[in-house]
Structure 1
Amino acid sequence: MVQKQNKLQVVRTHLRRSDLQARNDVRTLMRRNTALNTHQRFIRFVASKNVAQLGSAIAVSVRNGFGINGLFEKVIDLYEERYMPKGFSQDDYDLMAMVYGMGGRSAAIVVAHALGKPSIRALKRHRNCLPIEASAGYPTRAEVSRNLDAAFPRIIADLMPSSKGIVGVVAMVDEVCIEPRSRYHPGKNVIYGPCREHSRGYSLEFNSLDDANVLWDAIIAEKVHLGTEATVFALGPLLGETGAYTARPIHISASCKRETAPQHARLLETVLNTTTSHAKMEGSRIYSVATDGESKRGSALSSICLVQELDEDAEYYPELADIPLLNTLCGKDGITLDKDYKHLWKRLRKPLLSDSGVNVLGTLVTSDALKLHLTDCGHGSKIHSWFNPTDKQDVPVTIELFSAIMNLPPPAEGSEPGYARMRRAIQLLGVLYGCLIKPYTVPSYSLSDQLKDLSEAVHLIIPMYQHGRGSFMCLQSLADIMHAIKNVIFTVAKAKVDFPDNPLYIILLGTDRLEVLFGKLRTMIGSDANMDLYQAETRMTAAVECAEIAVKHPDWVKGIARRLRVPVLDASGQLSHVIDHVSPRCWTGDLSVRGVSIRTCWSVGRSRAVELLRAFDLDAEAIFRDMEAKGHDMLHPLGRPLFKEDMRGTDDVLEQFDVRWLTTLFGIILT
């Protein structure tokens, strides 16, 4: 009987537990059903409402351990503006810094209210970047050093994806127009605006009203001038990652354009010497100083970058030693002079727009003759835009014209001798143009292909210049092309030692990245495109901060820098319709430097040029051997150095009225 009672008790206990478990399961299912319904309501609510700061509210609720009900209540309160989350993520601050820097105060306010991002006041409290500071006069080492710290919060080598190798850096210098007005800088207690050339004897620090009066009297008497241009010195790493290769300014100062070459050389030396010895340059080094065709700067840089033969102890010396016709003059630490390739293209187009034309081995290719041959090949509809003399700065138009010249077919059988001779001369000119633009515009090109074309350009130009002198190409254009190609060769040699496993983008040479920076400065504040020195300083700071953010968020800035876009060509020189502009991201050719043989590429380019010129009854090989025997090179095609001509004008009127015109005139008289 007792056993039966015990069994009954066990059964009752089991039933009671089963009943309780069933009730608990029902209660759990009801709670989960309620939570599921709340989740569904939450999803529908978020999908149908535009809730600002939703991500911040969710992050705060999760940190505080809220469930779905508490989270839903917070989101409803947020939507009805009864609640505002306190915390913002670093991405929120980065986004607002980009909007504020590139769009200005109004854009930042709109984004802050519409998307629930940090306010401008909160952004200023949170940001900790150092400002870029302009120099009121000539730069000091302390000013340049401070700007280096501001431009590169980390050492430059940290921008490289892999820790192996040394980062090559291009120094770029150019001018941007500014408003000629004086401004008081409250943070530094100095007066911005007076030119650096003539303000040295005056106090630019505002200690009393007398300082301002004396300076103003000097400006009225024209002893001191208000700067009309700002000289900007920037650094750009040779890295292909988005944001990493952005030009970052380290010096800004106002100029009245009356500076002498020695004065400008002193400025450049101060900036260069400070930069090369700065701690932020650890694991990196300056390869070259790039500029456009400004005459005084060309002379100043010649005194810096063409002062000594390449040191035999340099690690990359074996790559460059004894290459025929290659000039090996350089500056301290092997720094070379570079000229912007886009400026060279535009300068080569100018004689094609004038009556003087181009003398190609005795055949004068004039604009009328070129128009005739292009029209005969079906390009008549574009002749007006290609030969518009008022539009000499359009790079895409220049490339379109060169592409058409490069792809002209041979003369038809039975053509008149004069017509056929002119067509062959134009074709030779097209080959030369192709060698100068295809290395920068054909993404399928490998680094070896680029070097071969540039070598061919050198070995075509030398005999053609010796034959036609100024009627073929002005001295300054000749010198600048040789400087640019020589710098590419030096850069490849240095890269083979410094980062042999990384790609080298020669499209990052020149001053194009600095031009892009100037474009950003102009478009940062849409209602105020012009700027004075003080505004240029603040916008430079914003540009540097945006560049640093772009390194962290490359997907934010895709397709943003297309102001100075370069059209893309295919391997045949035809305009490509697949890619609309050149950038490191679009390059598909093998750009690794480890397997590149500079000597072989140089020799191949020379052989191509010799073979091509043989068809014009010109023994180029004999010309090259004669130059080698006399100790001449690419910068001494006639025996005297081209870089001594850097003190002459470049894009001035005198250059357009030079030996080309005289040679043409004398040729007419003699015939």
Structure 2
Amino acid sequence: MKQATLTSLNDSRMLDRLLQVESTLKNLLKFLATHDVPALPRLFRNWLDQNWSLEKLFEMTQLSVEGKYQARNFSEMELDIATVVYELGGGATLYALQKSPFAFPSRNTLAKRRREYQLRISIGEPRMQDILHNIEVMFKTTQPEHRRCGITLSMDEIASDGRLCYLTATDEIAGVCEHAKRDSVKMGTDLEIVRAVREAIRDGKIHVGQEVFVAAFARNDDVDYGARPVLLMPTCKQGSFRDSALLIEKLRQAWEMSLYGEALHGSIWSIASDGDPKRRPALYLHCMAHKLTAADALHQHLGNLPGLNLFTGSGGMTQDLDVKHDLKRICKTICAREGILINGTTINKSLLGSWLERLSDVDWSENSIYALLNPASSIVEAIHALLDPKDPQDVPRAIKLLRVTADLRGIDNSDLNPSEYSTHRAFSLLGELLEALVEPFINPEFTLSQQITSLVKFAHIACALFLKHGGAFLPQHLYGDLQCMVRTAIFRVAHTKLLDPNSKSFCVCLVMMYLRCYLGGYE
């Protein structure tokens, strides 16, 4: 009798427990069906791994919806997908998915997984040992098909948060500009250095770097050609051209000294930049030092080319200004009120816009969101958007403008009056100039010979117009940058012939493009 009573009591308790579990399970399923629960798969993994009860799982699910709890036991697949999203979509896309019910990992979570190389960040004035260390890290490993080739040193800046941070590895304050002394940012055991840095920033003696200066070396080859950074330095961009010249010399010497630099990969053929006004004179100091003579190996290929500037730097180095910047600057010059002068005709935005309306069989459509939402926009509106873009840095828009300007050569001139005929002749000459410049960079059918021939054609037309009109044709610095770019392409072919006549030459694969592609995910 007593045993039967105990059995009945146990059964009653088990039934109550089962009813409670059933109720909790129904409430949980109802909650999951009516709410978007962030990181739901990870919640169930925690329930299994940590032996949570159903009540605990229900409680953590509610906290997750309220934003008070987030499961961070990411699987390898989740981390891999988040990495791909960040690489292809950037930080904004990853942030949006992090705040969504998918609860993707944050950028900081991915940082350690994405960090393939441990580079040293330069604090204050860049040190040779930091550059040599970074060269070894980035260039020590080679591909099986590795061979020596020409090298381009490229430089640019990327935007940063403009704040200071602490480097645990070196016990230093990072984020100050190049004017800070190395020993002035060592933290030590108290806060005296922090106070000293704060006062120096307030007094204007040093600055918080608003951008990060990046210097990278890139191989001019068909494999393993990406730009690899060897110098990362916060900068306030308040230095002089002499500071830039000294920095370039330090980078050049580091490449020559390193066992994993010139000795393993090859010598520097060109120095590339984005046209920074303080860096341009420094490039001229390095790349216009002496004139090639018959004793130089390059002279046998270049000495008899009429009009070619034979002044170079050490080892035949030349300066290379980014062609994308040049194309955008040409568009900006043409669309300015002053415009450009060609054979007595001033071509500016208003004149160009009126003549573009005469073109037929031109696809004025574009892939922007505005164009997709407004498919019925008129040709006049499309031309206006081309001449006055919302984003002046839009390279495809700049290329399209230059190409349709070149198409004005094909307009039927039989019915034009004398004034219009004179204007059309100016547009025809401009079209020849622009087509010769743009086509080598966008036409994959061009051979190397066609690329060089086209660029040389551009250089000679531009030279004739600049001699005739001076700065009224193109600003002097823009004209100089364009001619330097063409000269570097020609020198690159000559360098390749000396190194190995059977090697491929990639004269128009300008390395500033490689550098921007490399840095795109970090900007």
TM-score > 0.5, shorter chain as reference:
yes
Q: How does 1:168-247 map to 2 (within 5 A)?
A: 168-197=150-179, 199-200=180-181, 203-207=184-188, 208-241=190-223, 244-247=224-227
Higher relative contact order (CA 8 A, sep 6+): 1
| Alpha carbons 2:218, 2:511 under 8 Å: kept | no
Which whole-Å CA distance do the structure 2 matches of 1:492 and 1:441 have between them?
19
For residues 490-548 of structure 1, the C-alpha deviation after alignment (integer angstroms, 9 at most, x for no partner) is 111001122432322233214111122221113xxxxxxxxxxxxxxxxxxxxxxxxxx
Find the aligned partners of 2:132 and 2:333 in 1 and give their Cα distance.
44
C-alpha contact 1:129 1:150 (8 A) present in aligned 2: no
Note the residue ranges of structure 1 that are not aligned, 5 or more in a row. 1-80, 83-90, 115-119, 523-671
Structure 1 residue 411 displacement after superposition: 3.8
Please give the TM-score of this superposition, normalised by the length of structure 2.
Answer: 0.73
Given that residues 339 and 349 in structure 2 are in contact (C-alpha distance below 8 angstroms), is that contact kept between their aligned partners in structure 1? yes
Shift of 1:133: 1.6
The CA distance in 2 between the partners of 1:444 and 1:101, in whole Å, is 34
- Give me the whole-angstrom Cα distance separating, in 1, the residues matched to 2:149 and 2:80: 28
Give the structure 1 partner of residue 266 of structure 2: 284
Rounded to whole Å, the distance in 2 between the matches of 1:386 and 1:462 is: 27
- What corresponds to 1:477 in structure 2? 478
Distance in 1, Cα, partners of 2:396 & 2:516 = 15
Amino acid paired to 2:246 = R
Q: Is the Cα contact below 8 Å between 1:97 and 1:123 reproduced in 2?
A: no
Is the partner of 1:338 in helix, strand or coil? strand
Task: Confirm whether residue 351 of structure 1 aligns to residue 333 of structure 2.
Answer: yes
Partners of 1:317 and 1:344 in 2: CA distance: 28
Larger radius of gyration: 1
Query: What's 1:458 paired with?
Result: 459
User: 1:248 offset after TM fit, Å?
Assistant: 1.1
User: Are 1:134 and 2:121 matched, yes or no?
Assistant: yes
Which of 246, 249, 253 matches 1:273?
A: 253
In the aligned structure 1, how far is the partner of 2:265 from the partner of 2:397?
40
Aligned-pair distance for 1:292?
1.1
SS in structure 1 of the partner of residue 467 of structure 2: helix
What residue number does 2:304 align with?
322
Structure 2 residue 485 is the aligned partner of structure 1 residue 500: no
After TM superposition, give the deviation of residue 410 of structure 1 in Å.
4.2
Give a deviation string over 1:413-439, Cα, whole Å, max 9, x none. 131111111111111101100111111
Q: Partners of 2:152 and 2:173 in 1: how far apart?
A: 31
**Cα drift, residue 128 of structure 1:** 10
Alpha carbons of structure 1 residues 253 and 341: separation in structure 2 relative to 1, 3 Å? same
2:520 paired residue number: 519
The 3 A distance-change label for structure 1 pair 128 and 390 is closer
Task: Give the aligned length.
Answer: 418
State the 1:481 CA deviation. Answer: 0.6
Using a 3 Å threshold, how does the CA distance of structure 1 residues 262 and 176 change in structure 2: closer, same or farther?
same
Decide which of 308, 318, 323 is 1:341's aligned counterpart.
323
- Counterpart amino acid of residue 513 in structure 1: Y
Give the TM-score normalised by the residue count of structure 1: 0.58
Q: Which residue of 1 aligns with 2:43?
A: none
Give the Cα–Cα distance (whole angstroms) in 2 for the partners of residues 238 and 246 of structure 1.
9
What is the one-letter code of the residue matched to 2:185? L
* Change beyond 3 A, Cα 1:135–1:96: farther
Counterpart CA distance in 1 for 2:114 and 2:337 is 58
Give the structure 2 partner of residue 258 of structure 1: 238
In the alignment, what sits opposite 1:391?
391
Contact 1:345 1:398 in 2 (8 A): yes
CA distance in 2: counterparts of 1:122 and 1:460, whole angstroms: 51
Check conservation: 1:440, 1:506, Cα contact below 8 A.
no
Letter in 2 for 1:151: M
CA distance in 2, matches of 1:517, 1:280: 21
In the alignment, which residue of structure 1 is the partner of 2:35? none
Distance, in Å, in 1 between the alignment partners of 2:218 and 2:358 is 45
User: CA, structure 1 residues 462+205, in 2 after alignment: closer, same or farther (shift >3 Å)?
Assistant: same
Structure 2 unmatched runs, 5+:
1-47, 50-75, 103-107, 363-378
CA shift in 2, pair 1:240/1:391, >3 Å: same
Task: Find the counterpart in structure 1 of residue 417 from structure 2.
Answer: 416
Partner of 1:427: 428
Residue 478 of structure 1 deviates from its aligned partner by 0.7
Task: Please say if residues 341 and 472 of structure 2, whose CA atoms lie closer than 8 Å, have aligned partners that are also in contact.
Answer: yes
Q: Secondary structure at the match of 2:522?
A: helix
Counterpart of 1:370, as a letter, is: L
Report deviation, 1:311: 5.7
Letter in 2 for 1:317: H
How far off is 1:457 after superposition? 0.9
CA 218–426 in structure 1, closer or farther in 2 if over 3 Å, else same: same
Q: Judge conservation of contact 1:172–1:510 (CA < 8 Å) in 2.
A: yes
- Identity between Structure 1 and Structure 2 (%): 26
Would you say 1:150 and 2:137 are equivalent positions? yes
- Equivalent residues of 1:339, 1:510 under 8 A apart: no
Structure-2 separation of matches of 1:261 and 1:376: 47
Seen in structure 2, the aligned counterparts of structure 1 residues 162 and 187 have a Cα distance that, compared at 3 Å, is closer
Give the Cα–Cα distance (whole angstroms) in 1 for the partners of residues 268 and 463 of structure 2.
Answer: 29
